[in-house]
Structure 1
Amino acid sequence: MSEKHIDHPPLQGAKLAIGAVAVSLATFMNVLDTSIANVSIPTISGNLGVSSDQGTWVITSFAVSNAIALPLTGWLSQRLGQVRLFLGATVLFVIASWLCGAAPNLPFLLLARVLQGAVAGPMIPLSQSLLLAAFPRSKSSLALSLWSMTTLVAPVAGPILGGWISDNYTWPWIFYVNIPVGVLAVVGTWLIFRDRESATHKLPIDKLGLVLLVIWVGALQIMLDKGKDLDWFSSPIIIALAVTSAVAFVYFVAWELTDRHPIVDLSLFKNRNFSAATVALSTGYGLYFANIVLLPLWLQEFVNYRATDAGLVLAPAGLVAVLLTPFTGKLVGRIDPRILATVSLLSFAVCFFWRAGYTSDVDPWSLVAPTLIQGVGLATFFVPLLSIGYAGLPPSRIAAASGLFNFLRILCGGIGTSIFQTAWDHRSILHHAQLNEVTTDYNPTFQQFTHQVQLAGNNREQAYGVFNHVLDQQAALLGVDDLFYLSAILFVALIALLWIARRPGHGGGGDASATASGAH
């Protein structure tokens, strides 16, 4: 049975404010959980008596189930209703967070993380739909601004908060912090949105598509997670996972393009704006996410920064983004969003070109200044690209489009992180070999360095060890500089994609707003 379609009017005043805060809290809690556990893996592994390699499954289990659940958003929202699905997912997320914190062993924790990731899937795309439908069409860009602020700040806040909690309390609290936030989000959402349910329709589920999706995403995510440890394609396990993922992906695409009720609507890519914006946003986010993992790692391992301090280096970007994003929402309605997105990509490029010149004695200002520029890029990243991507889509396809958008964004974040960590290792090894060529008795710099170390009370072998440590630091620096430089070039190249898309209609996000409200 389906409900009668009702076009709900926009919210106003206090109801609009409470509804926006409630939905944003749920989104923040969700996105925060993608990164808050990263810095706590050694602590969790030690407490549960497992290796760090096994501990990484705490991240992978969440990522796999989250990525798989995201494309299901369109089908689930039509079957259950957007408000019911969002509330149910948020309640289950809170319960799963409690189970994670209470886990007595690793298998229990992994099961809880799988549940947490699965129910987290629909929350982000539905938060977009609910916000866009709650705001008047003329302020739809402001709604997208509020949504993007939560997705910008949470990845930066996650490592800082996770490190601080692990250092000062116990690791379960990285999950328990979700409980009060989730309760507030559930209560606020129920009070404001309970009478604004969307129409529901009984649709058959694409069982084969779902199975193929689970296989290719699961195999790909495990391959990315374990590739570095198993030396990538030197391992038969990695080769088997790669072949499994590739074959399942080909069958998945072929099936989804021909099925009457596909679980993932790949025909969305026939829309030029959606295709261009999706590729630009997913690739750009993948580069950004890979770098916010890479920079703190380099600072901790080779510049002797504490985990909390390394996370704090990234904090100014989130602060700048929060301050500027509301203005971006207003500008999208007045300026071609392709221009704003170009400003974003150029800001990222400038940031990474600057970082590509880092030296081993980099000072705090040189670390923070590019981060401020990155904040400008973040503030003008999501809103214009979402406005471009959603422009012209029919009302019934907004939830599916949003689910696919966010699925590819998260997937590219994982792919980018794995590729960059492997590339950093390879570039560091290459630079170490090149630098090591000067380690001869005929090089006066090498002779002087080892002589000075020996004068400090070390023998010849110890002096060589100190010199090799310096080479390790320089090689890691040159490797990370290479990746910063590559990131800058790729951000510049992405600009071309923006101008393949057509300019959205006047009001920027108006089309997206109409689409969202039409789904009700």
Structure 2
Amino acid sequence: MKKSILIITVIAAAMMELIDTSIVNVALSHMSGNLGATLEDTSWVITAYAIANIIIIPMTSFLTNKLGRRNYYIGSIIAFTFFSAMCGLSSNIWTLVAFRFLQGMGGGALLSVSQAIVFEVYGKEKQGIAAALFGIGVFLGPTIGPTLGGFITENYSWPWIFYINIPIGIAVTVSSLLLITEPAIKTKVQSVDWWGILLLSVGVGSLQTVLERGETDDWFAANYIIVLTVLAILSIILFIWWELKTPHPVIDLRVLTSKTLSIAAILTFITGFGLFTSVFLTPVVAQRVLNFPPTITGLMLLPGAILAIFGLMFSASLLKKGVSPLIIITVGFVLFIIFNWQMSRMNLNSGPADIATSLIYRALGLALLTVPLTALAVSELEAKDVPQGAALNNMMRQLGGSFGIAIINTYVANRFGLHRSDLLANVNIYNAYFTERINKLTQYFLGRGNSIFDAQKKAIAVINSGVDRQSFLLSYLDAYLFTGLLFLVAMPLLLLVIKRKKQSRPVVLVSDH
């Protein structure tokens, strides 16, 4: 019974952290109006949290060893909960951004430490089950975040997207105080790697800012983007050199000598790319292009999310029975490619049922990827290295999402300009359909009491709006196709994973009979 409550506790903590990566996305316009800030300034609410997460996640193993797992984990939950409350109470945008950054610093531990605890509870021989249980939180968190945020914002007010963390945080804190213990194997920290911490913070913080803000500020047209890009490259190079040189690094990069962890990290990056870009793209297409209300948009995600839970447990069961991970992971990639292919064939008449069906492929595909890849990442590591391996793997998922959204945003913007130019080439007096359409619209507005000048102006505005809508649709369809092709290109890496696994045959990927 205690084990079950402990598992529920740590998965709830991880889900709470992951939900907050996307819950604010749909509330930005409400925050902007309420706090009297521009939408560009308000988007720092997302950026600040992402930067803090990416900085703290890879440091989790070091902080766990330095402060003690129990102290660090419970302290992080309390910090996350407290700063969630402060976010809701913020009266201006920059106070909110500051508290959001501190919330992200507290939330960073909830992911990797929760994962390490789940793996420890189930032991080496049942890591497939552990990966499935933890995968539920990893998958559902970002997926239901926008839906939950939209529901709360529509029916209450934006501060409640932060206040909702308070009762959950208190419950998780109490349960953790009663159940969390120190790991059986502890690594004593000899000294604090201050240079490593500084270089990591500057490098990853700069990189994340560039990824989050680049598209908004036209990338290298902004001087600060150029400066931060150079700073990120130099800091990360120096960080890698320093961490491999120092005897007591803040992040032990030597665990990446495990080929299995390295390959799993790359595949996890690709999976994060697909997970976060699909969570970003689908609600935007549904609401911005197809004009679905937020409630319908949220309900579209529900069937896939429910089936994903069964998919996660099913994939763990297959691994336990000795089914080759090559088959499971390949099917997962194929299902996700099918999802992107179907979404790339949408049109303006596509309904909620069409998208919900496609989302089922996405959900099952990611479910079949999450379990083998999560277990794979730590399968060849010694017990003392599992927290570090889990932290690095989690960082790769988050980085995949950050890179994915930045790349897709830029790609959509470029494709929008191209498609709009192509469509406008056909909008001229020599196009019979255009002249017929513009004349009908003009007559319509004349019939509503407008002057000939105003009627023609409004008719042109309707045509322009239609061109924009069609251009956005075509751009988003291209983005889905691009993501599917990325998964297709990454598939050969699976052969390297399986070759390695056949050589070592760790317990996690074979039957425990």
Q: TM-score, normalised by structure 1?
A: 0.92
Answer yes or no: is 1:85 the counterpart of 2:72. Answer: yes
Match of 2:449 in 1: none
Identify if the C-alpha distance between structure 1 residues 202 and 216 changes in structure 2 by more than 3 Å, giving closer, same or farther: closer
* Corresponding residue number in structure 1 for 2:421: 433
Shifted more, 370-379 versus 309-318: the winner is 309-318
Counterpart in the other structure of 1:10: none
- From 300, 304, 309, the counterpart of 1:322: 309
Distance 1:477 1:256, change over 3 A: same
**Mapped contact 2:55–2:200 kept (Cα < 8 A):** yes
Is residue 82–residue 197 contact of structure 1 (8 Å, CA) maintained in 2? Answer: no
Give the corresponding residue for 2:401.
413
Cross-structure match for 1:244: 231
In structure 2, how many angstroms separate the alpha carbons of the residues matched to 1:311 and 1:293? 13
Q: Are the structure 2 counterparts of residues 250 and 449 from structure 1 closer, same or farther at C-alpha, using a change threshold of 3 Å?
A: same
CA contact (8 A) 1:223 1:242 kept: yes
* Cα distance in 2, alignment partners of residues 81 and 235 from structure 1: 43
- How many aligned positions are there? 499
Structure 2 match to 1:368: 356
- Whether the 8 Å CA contact 2:131–2:372 is kept in 1: the answer is no
- Aligned partners of 1:509, 1:67: CA distance in 2, in Å? 29
Please report how far the alpha carbon of residue 77 of structure 1 lies from its aligned counterpart in structure 2 after TM superposition: 1.5
How many Å apart are 1:117 and its aligned residue?
0.8
SS of equivalent to 1:448: helix
Paired letter, 1:153: L
Secondary structure of residue in 1 paired with 2:496: coil
Residue 247 (structure 2) aligns with: 260
Task: Find the counterpart in structure 2 of residue 475 from structure 1.
Answer: 471
Residue 275 of structure 2 contacts residue 366 of structure 2 at CA under 8 Å; is this kept in 1?
Answer: no
Q: Distance in 2 between matches of 1:167 and 1:200?
A: 48
- Partner amino acid for 1:380? L
What is the CA–CA distance in structure 1 between the aligned matches of 2:37 and 2:391, rounded to whole Å?
35
Distance in 1, matches of 2:460 and 2:166, equals 53
Moved more, 131-140 or 375-384: 131-140
Is the 8 Å Cα contact of residues 319 and 510 (structure 2) preserved in structure 1? no
After TM superposition, give the deviation of residue 255 of structure 1 in Å.
1.7
* 2:284 pairs with 1:297: yes
Distance in 2 (alpha carbons) for counterparts of 1:470 and 1:282: 37
Deviation at 1:506, TM superposition (A): 5.3
- 8 Å CA contact 1:286–1:414 kept in 2: the answer is yes
CA-CA distance at 1:200 after TM superposition: 5.0
Does the CA contact (< 8 Å) of 2:68 and 2:182 recur in 1?
Answer: no
Task: Report the counterpart of residue 53 of structure 2 in structure 1.
Answer: 66
Deviation at 1:45, TM superposition (A): 2.1
The 3 A distance-change label for structure 1 pair 450 and 209 is same
Structure 1: runs of 5+ lacking an equivalent: 1-13, 514-520
Amino acid in the other structure paired with 2:8: V
Shift of 1:213: 1.1
Paired position in structure 1 for 2:186 = 199
Alignment counterpart, residue 439 of structure 2, candidates 432, 451, 460 = 451
| Partner Cα distance (2:185, 2:379) in 1 | 21
The Cα shift of 1:191 comes to 2.0
CA distance change for structure 1 residues 83 and 418 in 2, over 3 Å: closer, same or farther? Answer: same
Asked if 2 retains the 8 angstrom alpha-carbon contact of 1:141 and 1:332, the reply is: yes
What are the equivalent positions in structure 2 for 1:179-194 lying under 5 Å apart? 179-194=166-181
Cα offset, 1:136, TM superposition: 4.4
Matched, 1:152 2:139: yes
How far residue 196 of structure 1 moved from its aligned partner, in angstroms, is 5.7
Residue-by-residue CA offset, 1:13-50 (whole Å, 9 max, x unaligned)? x1111111111111111111111111111112222221
Q: Percent same amino acid among aligned pairs? A: 30
Shift of 1:69: 0.6
Amino acid at match of 1:282: F
Paired letter, 2:221: S
Secondary structure in structure 2 of the residue aligned to 1:30:
helix
Q: Give 1:475 shift.
A: 1.0
| Counterpart code for 1:337 | P
**Structure 1 residue 59: deviation in Å?**
1.2
CA gap 1:274/1:136 in 2 versus in 1, 3 angstroms: closer
Q: Which amino acid aligns with 2:494?
A: L
- 1:196 and 1:322, CA in 2 relative to 1: closer, same or farther beyond 3 A? same
Q: Deviations over 1:195-223 (max 9, x none)?
A: 76653513312211111111111212222
**Any idea what SS the aligned residue of 1:456 has?**
helix
Q: Which amino acid in structure 2 is aligned with residue 476 of structure 1?
A: F
Compared CA separation, residues 510 and 80, structure 1 to 2 (3 A) = farther
Which of 352, 366, 369 is the matching residue for 1:378? 366
| Distance (whole Å) between structure 1 residues aligned to residue 351 and residue 93 of structure 2 | 40
Give the Cα separation in 2 of the matches to 1:224 and 1:378. Answer: 24
| Residues in 1 aligned to 2:379 and 2:183: alpha-carbon distance in whole angstroms | 24
Alignment check: 8 A CA contact 1:345 1:494 kept = no
The answer on whether the counterparts of 1:145 and 1:329 sit within 8 Å (CA) in structure 2 is yes
1:460 is aligned to 2:447: no
Residue 454 of structure 1 and its aligned partner are, at CA, apart by: 2.4
Q: RCO greater where, 1 or 2, for CA within 8 Å and sep 6 or more? A: 1
- The one-letter amino acid of 2:495's match is W
Aligned to 2:324: 336
The corresponding residue for 2:451 is none
Distance 1:239 1:305 in 2: 39
Aligned match for 1:35, one of 3, 6, 22 = 22
Specify the alignment match of 1:508 in structure 2.
Answer: 508
Runs of 4+ in 1 over 4 A off after TM superposition: 195-198
Task: State the one-letter code of the partner of 1:150.
Answer: G
**Separation of aligned partners in 2, 1:510 and 1:195:** 29
Q: Which moved more, 1:485-494 or 1:81-90?
A: 81-90
Range 356-365 or range 502-511, more displaced: 502-511
SS at match of 1:201: coil
Q: How does 1:153-168 map to 2 (within 5 A)?
A: 153-168=140-155
Conserved in 1, the CA contact under 8 Å of 2:69 and 2:182?
no
Of 320, 325, 340, which aligns to 1:352?
Answer: 340
Secondary structure of 1:508's counterpart equals helix
Deviation at 1:245, TM superposition (A): 1.3
Please give the root-mean-square deviation of Cα atoms over the aligned residues, in Å: 2.0
Matched residue, 1:20 = 7
